[in-house]
Amino acid sequence: MRNIFKDNEFYFVPLGGSEEFGANFNLYVCDDEYLVIDCGIGFADDRYPGIDLLLPDPSFVAANKDKLAGMVITHAHEDHIGAVAYLWERMQCPIYTTEFTANVLRKKLKQEGVEGVPIHIIGQDETVEIGNSFAVEFIPVSHSVPDSSALLIQTKYGNVLHSGDWNLDPAPVIGRKTDEARFREIGEQGVLAYVGDSTNAQVNGFSGSEADVAKGLAAEFKNCKGKIAITMFASNIGRLVSIAKAANEAGRSVAIIGRSLHRMSGAAYDCGYMDGVADFISDDEISYIADENLVLVLTGSQGEHRAALARVARGDHRGVKLNRGDTVIFSSRAIPGNERTINTVKNNLSAGGVNIVTPSDTKNIIHVSGHPCRDEISAMLQWVRPNCVIPVHGERQQLDAQAALAKECQVNQILVPRNGSVIHLASGGSEIVDHVETALLAVDQRRIIPATHQSITARRKLQYSGAVHASLVLDDDLRLLGKIKIDTVGLTCKRSDDCIAAELENNILETLDNLDVDITFNEDEIARKIMSALRKYVQETLGLRPKTTVHVTLLDI
Ligand SMILES: [Zn+2]
Ligand SMILES: [Zn+2]
């Protein structure tokens, strides 16, 4: 393998999450020693039929795993932690993270049957030496999951502030505020580069406070008559506490429904984050409590087909039924791309007479984002005053928006990376010097394949263009033996639904008539000629390019 990194230098290489939301996977290289930050999943959209999860590609790191000193996880969100269970075996390094994150990670590893992962728990404000080249300080930041940290990565070439996900919530319900004083000190010491969260770089103002959500939910609950079902991201323990407080004020008991909510709240209990919160009632107790005394917290805020909310909305959840006059509150935002599935859930609820409240339907604050908006990013850049800003964690438009904002904030140098950009970090000026190949992987029925795998391309093609399969047997004079068998998927004919097979059969017979016996005496070559004639015919008559396969058998009789 070509040696990309010089021995006595410091580099940053985003390997996932810098062109898409999700699949965050970042690499720092110092004196040819490697440090990985985060290893998360992405959620697949319509481009990947049959696929739910995407993973970053660990090949580059795995090929150099003898140089890999460790992996740091900034926080317990799926887009930062979710791929560890799938990819750790290929990297086999120690993992450093905070207590809550470690707790969630252990539960996920156990669920996937991955054993032997060395996890080191690091307290917030603590610094850990990793390998010979890195010292990493965990700095508390507020975010929508407990124990989130920004990382100060210290090397002999200078310091990088890797922000992780953060906001400037002035009154978080759980955990500490983002530590302004510490960030100012870090700025005093000098920062080579700020590698930061771009999610909300297009949104003006501030993200708001979880304390206001607690008040907003309490006010919203007062408007509700029957059962209240509320959906949110399972990892948002602060929100769960806000819901519990609002429910308590309204004299309602809380039940949580969905596996990930149980897993996350279990991890929060273990860390003491649920102290003082009234116990949740069990699934069995739900039916004994009057509707107006009940709040159900459900997974599935993104309309996920198998999650609790979608099942309740379809009426196929065994434990929970919603009736006319009940209310579903979406205490969440739609991740771009999920609007259609969320809409399906809303339509099902609406058809059953259930009231729906989303953040835009009410003046009460029922959701705030965990990511920094423009005024928060500006504040951070003013505290830290980095030599260089490298926007990550977003699609290209969010990265570009943070870049433009950094320019307004008079930052000297701004580098917008792609996944795979090799950025040389130096006090005299950082620059993109090279590129490593990187791609997404897809989890397909528990097998991991490239997201560009031909099976996924074929599924996409089938979805939009249908398929034709023909099979025929010829003798050695190229005369047809028996009938041509034709199957089509998703094709209709102009005249009637079942005439397409007859038309395709005629097309094949014409092709056979025109075959030159002398030069084509090969099954594959005959199949190719029939296939290209069929494709041409279907495209001309139906305007589609279906996936076409033809099997020809030559019988020597
Ligand atoms: Zn994230
Ligand atoms: Zn996050």
Question: Domain containing 271 — which CATH number?
Answer: 3.40.50.10710
Residue type at 216 in one-letter notation: G
Asked whether residue 231 falls in the same domain as residue 201, the answer is no
Distance 544 CA to ligand 2 centre (A): 42
Distance 462 CA to ligand 2 centre (A): 35
The answer, yes or no, to whether residue 2 has pLDDT greater than 80, is: no
Check residue 228 and give its pLDDT.
98
End residue of a domain, out of 361, 393, 414: 361
Distance 541 CA to ligand 1 centre (A): 48
End residue of a domain, out of 407, 424, 450: 450
CA distance 187 to 65: 33
Distance 81 CA to ligand 1 centre (A): 9
- Give residue 335's pLDDT band: very low, low, confident or very high (50, 70, 90): confident
Asked whether residue 57 falls in the same domain as residue 163, the answer is yes
Asked whether residue 128 falls in the same domain as residue 270, the answer is no
The answer, yes or no, to whether residue 403 has pLDDT greater than 90, is: yes
For residue 198, the domain's CATH number is 3.60.15.10
Distance 41 CA to ligand 2 centre (A): 12
End residue of a domain, out of 361, 378, 393: 361
Asked whether residue 45 falls in the same domain as residue 176, the answer is yes
The answer, yes or no, to whether residue 322 has pLDDT greater than 70, is: yes
Distance 196 CA to ligand 1 centre (A): 11
Q: Which ligand is nearest to the CA of 75?
A: 2
- Which run of H or of E encompasses 532? helix 523-542
Asked whether residue 385 falls in the same domain as residue 350, the answer is no
Q: Is residue 42 within 8 Å of residue 84, measured between CB atoms?
A: no
Give the residue among 386, 319, 371, 327 at the shortest CA–CA distance from 198.
Answer: 371
The answer to whether residue 457 is domain-embedded is no
Give the residue among 182, 202, 228, 247 at the shortest CA–CA distance from 355.
Answer: 228
Asked whether residue 55 falls in the same domain as residue 200, the answer is yes
CA distance 414 to 176: 30
The answer to whether residue 499 is domain-embedded is yes
Q: Which ligand is nearest to the CA of 40?
A: 1
| pLDDT more than 90, % of the chain | 78
Asked whether residue 174 falls in the same domain as residue 306, the answer is no
The answer to whether residue 290 is domain-embedded is yes
Asked whether residue 214 falls in the same domain as residue 200, the answer is no
Query: Total structural domains in the chain?
Result: 3
The answer to whether residue 461 is domain-embedded is no
The 8-class DSSP code of residue 138 comes to E
Asked whether residue 18 falls in the same domain as residue 112, the answer is yes
The 8-class DSSP code of residue 438 comes to -
Cα angle for residues 384, 387, 393 (degrees, 5° grid) = 70
Check residue 127 and give its pLDDT.
98
The answer to whether residue 459 is domain-embedded is no
The answer to whether residue 322 is domain-embedded is yes
Domain span at 276: 210-361
For residue 532, the domain's CATH number is 3.10.20.580
Residues 6+ apart with CB under 8 A from 248: 278
CA distance 196 to 380: 10
Asked whether residue 200 falls in the same domain as residue 214, the answer is no
The answer to whether residue 3 is domain-embedded is no
Q: Which ligand is nearest to the CA of 393?
A: 1
The 8-class DSSP code of residue 5 comes to S
- Give residue 543's pLDDT band: very low, low, confident or very high (50, 70, 90): confident
Better pLDDT: 2 or 502? 502
The answer, yes or no, to whether residue 1 has pLDDT greater than 70, is: no
Asked whether residue 101 falls in the same domain as residue 161, the answer is yes
Using DSSP, state whether 212 is helix, strand or coil: helix
The 8-class DSSP code of residue 500 comes to H
Distance 38 CA to ligand 1 centre (A): 10
Q: Which ligand is nearest to the CA of 26?
A: 1
Asked whether residue 187 falls in the same domain as residue 216, the answer is no
Residues 6+ apart with CB under 8 A from 503: 493, 537, 541
Distance 197 CA to ligand 2 centre (A): 9
Give the residue among 443, 426, 421 at the shortest CA–CA distance from 13.
Answer: 421
Distance 273 CA to ligand 1 centre (A): 21
The answer to whether residue 5 is domain-embedded is no
Q: Which ligand is nearest to the CA of 38?
A: 1
Distance 334 CA to ligand 1 centre (A): 14
CA distance 419 to 421: 6
pTM for the whole structure: 0.87
Q: Which ligand is nearest to the CA of 235?
A: 2
